[in-house]
Amino acid sequence: MNNKYKNLKSHNFRLKGNAIGFALLASIFMSGISASGQEKRLLNVEEAVQLGIANSKALKLSQQQIDEAVSRFNQTKDKALPTASASYTYNHAMFLGRTFDVPGENKPINLPSKADAFIGTLSVQELIFGGNSLKYAKESTTILTDIARLDADKQKDEIAYKIISEYYNLYKVQQSLKVVDKNLNSIEQQLKQAQQFFSQGTVTKNDVLRFQLQKNNIQMTGLDLQANKKIINYNLNILLGLPESTELEASTIDNALAHSENLNTLLDTAVSKRQEIKQFDLRNQLAETNIKSIKGGLLPTVSAAADLYYINPSAKVIPPSGTFLAPVSLGATVSWKFDKLWTNKNKVAEAKIQQDEAVTGKAQTIDNIKEEVNRNLRNYQLSVNKIEILNNSIEQAEENDRILASKYKNNIASVTDRIDAQTQLFQAQINLELAKADAGLAWYTLLKSTGNIN
């Protein structure tokens, strides 16, 4: 949103001296007509959030990352299964010499001109005990998967809040445009009245020009708002995954005055629901699991294996009975890397530091969240109080405008006083609509800080 809209509250709508054609104004405020091919869509804030979350590419990417973490977990579980391998080899050997003299023997050995052999192996191995390394690997990948899910939940909250923020910006512009349209109609009537007084000789030409300049001033405000509405509408279409040409309209927002919350209740909710705190708890568990895994590496490992060999020295693929060997071997292995008794101590120290960091990080995050919740609650309460004050201001501005209108009609008030009264009412009406939207957004900001926005 550009700076003109951000500064709307401080806009004093003073005379700018730039004439804007009536035809241009009409093209801006014909709200019932949309551009060719544009689809109009009325949304409330809940529908906008649901639509945006359903179509969010960022959330789809987060889900894919979760799926990847689950896949790694399944791969870790697969390591508990036995490993097996098989091979089958054919060898063909040719002897360059036909005899071989054995030292100490009088008679040489006669060799064939060639020899063939088929050799096959089948091996199955199973880790019986590996210092609980597989158990801790499963726990680690489970925790990492849960952390990935919390990241996705946090991103979901951020996207929901961004949609809500843009939705309320759209609502602000819509309501401001309605006030502009209403005041434009009023100034048109005042301008006609001034022209009538001028024809009767009761006001000067300068008075008529001042009303004309006031009308132009309101038109300029409408131009600014209309430009901002197009920007917000485009951004919101992108967030919601809608066609960029869709013309969105925000429905009536909830009454922000209806909410009343206790700070301690909000703080308890935030501590129990904020994803950041849950992630620190998981990182603490991850560090603890890592410590156990490192210490488990000090234990010996036990594995079992079964091997089948097939040796066929004949040249036939299927040898005659009694002309091949098929030995089977069974065995168990116990191994111990005892060097870890003195090489693992620094690894354990590092893992304990990571665990301490998780504990300290959680405490710091809780403090920051408490400050955030308290600040957002005070801002929300301030927004609600502003609405009450602005309601009173509008009553006073309306009464002042009514009095000045009567005085001007009876030629006992100047045109400047008349325009000032109308400008004050115009400003108060817009400020009230902005304050209502600000209070609604402040409420959702408070919900977000407690982890309850979704």
Q: What is the pLDDT of residue 272?
A: 93
CA-wise closest residue to 128 among 78, 80, 75, 74 = 80
**Residue 395 is encoded by which pair of tokens?**
């009553």
Secondary structure element (H or E) that encloses residue 316, with its range: none
Q: What is the pLDDT of residue 280?
A: 94
More confident residue, 442 or 416: 442
Q: Is the pLDDT of residue 32 over 70?
A: no
Q: What is the pLDDT of residue 259?
A: 67
Per-residue pLDDT tens for 60-113? 888 888 888 788 778 877 777 888 899 988 888 887 777 777 787 778 877 777
Q: What is the pLDDT of residue 301?
A: 82
pLDDT band at 6 (very low <50, low <70, confident <90, very high): very low
Could you please report the per-residue DSSP string of 181-192? HHHHHHHHHHHH
* CA dist., res. 47 & res. 239, Å (int): 13
pLDDT band at 444 (very low <50, low <70, confident <90, very high): very high
Sequence-distant (6+) residues with CB within 8 A of 289 are 136, 139, 140, 143
Q: Is the pLDDT of residue 36 over 60?
A: no
Q: Is the pLDDT of residue 441 over 70?
A: yes
pLDDT > 70: what percent of the chain? Answer: 90
Sequence-distant (6+) residues with CB within 8 A of 130 are 301, 302, 303
Q: What is the pLDDT of residue 3?
A: 41
Other CB atoms within 10 A of residue 116 CB: 15
Mean of all residue pLDDT scores within the chain = 83
Per-residue pLDDT tens for 342-385? 888 888 899 899 999 999 999 999 999 999 999 999 999 999 99
Q: Is the pLDDT of residue 21 over 50?
A: no
CA-wise closest residue to 170 among 454, 384, 440 = 440
Q: What is the pLDDT of residue 408?
A: 82
Per-residue pLDDT tens for 298-332? 888 888 888 888 888 876 777 877 777 888 888 88
Q: What is the pLDDT of residue 392?
A: 92
Q: What is the pLDDT of residue 28?
A: 37
CB of 157 closer than 8 Å to CB of 448 = yes
**Residue 136 is encoded by which pair of tokens?**
């801790």
Residue type, 245: S
CA-wise closest residue to 197 among 436, 412, 449 = 412
310 has which bridge partners?
120
Q: What is the pLDDT of residue 37?
A: 54
117 has which bridge partners?
91
Q: Is the pLDDT of residue 247 over 90?
A: yes
SS3 at position 290: helix
Q: What is the pLDDT of residue 252?
A: 75
Which class for 329: exposed (0-12), middle (13-18), buried (19 or more C-beta within 10 A)?
exposed
More confident residue, 176 or 33: 176
pLDDT band at 27 (very low <50, low <70, confident <90, very high): very low
Q: Is the pLDDT of residue 254 over 60?
A: yes
- Beta strand 247-250 with 83-94 is unpaired
pLDDT band at 26 (very low <50, low <70, confident <90, very high): very low
Q: Is the pLDDT of residue 449 over 70?
A: yes
- Beta strand 247-250 with 40-43 is parallel
Q: Rounded to 10 degrees, what is the CA torsion of 354, 358, 363, 367?
A: 110
pLDDT > 90: what percent of the chain? Answer: 34
Other CB atoms within 10 A of residue 261 CB: 16
* CA dist., res. 161 & res. 376, Å (int): 14
Which class for 406: exposed (0-12), middle (13-18), buried (19 or more C-beta within 10 A)?
exposed
CA-wise closest residue to 159 among 236, 53, 233 = 53
**Residue 266 is encoded by which pair of tokens?**
């909000």
CA-wise closest residue to 39 among 331, 298, 261, 248 = 248
SS3 at position 203: coil
Q: What is the pLDDT of residue 379?
A: 94
Q: What is the pLDDT of residue 248?
A: 93
Q: State the alpha helices, DSSP H only, in 201-255.
A: 205-240
* CA dist., res. 232 & res. 415, Å (int): 37
More confident residue, 1 or 171: 171
Per-residue pLDDT tens for 197-230? 888 887 788 888 988 998 999 999 999 999 999 9
CA-wise closest residue to 421 among 439, 440, 404 = 404
pLDDT band at 256 (very low <50, low <70, confident <90, very high): low
Per-residue pLDDT tens for 276-299? 999 999 999 999 998 988 888 888
pLDDT band at 125 (very low <50, low <70, confident <90, very high): confident
